[in-house]
Amino acid sequence: MIINDEFVKEYGALIYHYIRKNHVHGKEATDEIHAEVYIRLMKTSQTYDESKSKVTTWLKYQVQSVCSNYWRKKRDSPDALDGRIVYIEDMQQNG
């Protein structure tokens, strides 16, 4: 499979749809993941086997994988709240 302008025109909107279905919102995050998806597609396009799945199924899997990596990085980020609820008043009192 060749990832080129025709591919982007045909499947670009579907890729954005799959990204949003993975609970990614906001232009910056969506664009970041969209770029990562295309990088992944270019690296893995040679492994696509049309006898095993439709292109749309393969794309959905690739997008899910990139989104999972994105959420894992966000969760493990030093900026993450580690699942704690932080109240603004507590932050103001504790500096």
pLDDT in tens, 16-43: 999 999 988 899 999 999 999 999 999 9
The mean pLDDT value for 68-86 works out to 71
Q: Cα torsion at 17, 69, 42, 56 (round to 10°)?
A: -40
In the chain, the amino acid numbered 61 is: Y
Q: Which two tokens stand for residue 16?
A: 């954005």
| Cβ atoms of 22 and 67 closer than 8 Å | yes
Q: What share of residues in the chain are helix, strand, coil (percent, to 5)?
A: 70, 0, 30
